[in-house]
A and B are shown apart, each in its own frame.
Chain A
Amino acid sequence: MTKGTQLLSSKEMDAALLKMAKEIVRDSTEGVALVGIRTRGVPLAEYLAKKIEKIQGKPIELGSLDINLYRDDLSEVSEQPVVRPTELPFSITGKGIILVDDVLYTGRTIRAAMDALIDFGRPRFIKLAVMVDRGWREFPIQPDYVGRGIKTTQNQNVKVMLAPIDGEDAVFIREHK
C-alpha cells in the first residue's frame, strides 16, 4: 500500500501546530483543557500542549476521549471497534474544552465526542481543533482551529501520521482503489 502524495512534511506540520497553539493562547487558556480524541487526536493534543506551555510558560490540562461507544454506525460496522479507556483527570464542569482530532471529514466523530464529553459534566464551551479539514461535512459542525484546510474528493483518503503511533510526522493524501 502506497502512502500517496505528501500533503504536509514534518516541518510543515510543526509550523501548523505552532500557529494553532498561538491562536489558542491568544483566545485565552484560562480554565481551558485540551482533550484528544483517540487514537490520533491524543498525540496531537500532546504536541499542542507542549507548544502552548512553551508560549505561555505554564502547562495546559490534557485528557483523552474514546468515542467508539458513542458512534452512530455501530449497527453497520462488521466488527466492534477496539474500546480504549477515556482519561479525563479533571472535572469538565465549567471548563472550556478544546477537542483535538487529526482529520475533520463528516463531523460524525465530533458529534459522538460531544455526546461523550457531556456525560462527564457540563463544560463552559466546546471548541474544535483539527490538523486537517478536508470538507464533506454531514453534520453542522465547524472547526475553531485548523492546521490545514484542503479540497478533497470522496474517493480520497487523508492520513495524518504521528511519530508516537506511525514513527513519523506527516500528512498524506491518496486515492481509494
Chain B
Amino acid sequence: MKLSTPHILSINDLSKKDILTILQTADSFREISERPIKKVPTLRGKTVVNCFFEDSTRTRLSFEIAEKRLSADTVNISKSGSAMQKGENLLDTMKNIEAMRPDIVVIRHFISGAPMMVAQAIKAHVINAGDGMHEHPTQALLDLMTIKEVKGRMQGLKVGIVGDIAHSRVARSDMLLFRKMGIKVFVSGPHTLMPLGVEEFGVEVCRDIRDVLAELDVLILLRIQQERADENLFPNLREYARHFGINNDALKGARDDLTIMHPGPVNRGVEISPEVADGPRSVILDQVTNGVAVRMALLYLLLGDGGSEG
C-alpha cells in the first residue's frame, strides 16, 4: 500500500484511491491515541523536521504528536530564532536541513507555493501544513474523515462553507477534496471575500447560506480575520457577524442532523456563536482528534516507498 505521490502538497496530487487509503489508514490509527501507551515503534529512527515559518498552534502540535506517537524523532524550526531571521533565504535553509538527512519535512509558510519549491529542491518527503492562500491539504483530509465518520458516507452529501473563501487555504483544499469525492459544495460569504472564478471548483455560490440550509448535511464556518476588515473588504466584525455569523437563530430551518464544523481557531461571536460552537451539532473537537490520526496515516504512508531516498 502506498500513495501515488511522494509529497503531500496539494489535494490535486492525490488520486481518489490515495484518499480512500489515507482515510482507511487514519481510521486504524485513531485507536492508538486511546491506548494507555500511546506509541507504536513504526517510524523508529526516522527524522521529521517541522518548519513552521508562520504561527500555528493546533497544526504544529497535531503534527508533532502524530510523529511522536509513531516514534519518529522530531525537530521544530520556527521563523523567529532560525537563520532566516539573519537573512538566509528559504532554499538555503532547506538545503542545510537536507544535509542533515531528514526523512520528512513538514512545512508551513506564509507564501503560497513555498512547499512546492522546497519539494523540488530537496530529497526528503514534503508535507504542506498550510501555504499562504493556497492549500492546507491535511486540514481538508481531517475534515473529510470527520464528515465520513459522522455521516457514514461521502458520495451525494451537501456541504456548505461560509466565510472568507478568497483568502482561505482550508476552503480551497476542502473544495478540491470534497468535489473529488462526490460531495456537493455550496460557498457563501461577502462578495469581496469570494474569489473570482470560484465556480471553476465545481461549487455553487449562494448569496445567503440560509437559502440552501435546509438541504445541507454539513456546514463549515471559516475564521474571519480582523486584517480583512482593516483592508476594507467588509466594514467590521460586528457587521460580518450580523450578516454571516451562525447562531441558533440562523440555524432555524436546518436539518436536525446538520453537522457544524470549524477548522479553528474559533472567533466566538463572529463567524459562530458560542451556543453553536459548543452545541450538539458541533464536531469541532472531533476534527482536532481526527487531525492526529490523519497526520499519522500520511507519515506512515509516505515512508512506504523505501524511506528517505524519496
Contact = CB atoms under 8 A, between A and B. Distances in A.
Partners in one complex: yes
Interface of A: 66, 69-70, 74-75, 77-87, 115-116, 119-121
B42 A69 contact: yes
A85 B1 CA distance: 16
Contacts of A119: 35-37, 39-40
Contact of B306 (A66, A78, A84, A116): A78
Interface of B: 1-2, 24-25, 27-29, 31-32, 35-37, 39-42, 70, 300-301, 303-307
Given A82-B24, A85-B31, A115 B41 contact: yes
A74 B70 CA distance: 13
B28 A80 contact: no
Contacts of A78: 2, 305-306
Given A80-B304, A85-B31, 8 more contacts: A69-B32, A74-B303, A78-B305, A79-B304, A85-B27, A86-B31, A119-B37, A121-B36
Contacts of A77: 304
Contact of A69 (B2, B40, B307): B40
B187 to A, nearest CB: 35
Given A69-B40, A69-B42, A85-B27, A79 B2 contact: yes
A78 B309 CA distance: 13
A80 B300 contact: yes
B154 to A, nearest CB: 20
Nearest to B39: A119
Contacts of A84: 28
Nearest to A86: B31
Nearest to A116: B40
A82 B1 contact: yes
B145 to A, nearest CB: 14
Nearest to A84: B28
B1 A69 contact: no
A83 B28 CA distance: 6
A79 B39 contact: no
Nearest to B3: A80
A17 B36 CA distance: 33
A83 B29 contact: yes
A80 B300 CA distance: 8
A81 B24 CA distance: 12
Contact of A81 (B1, B40, B307): B1
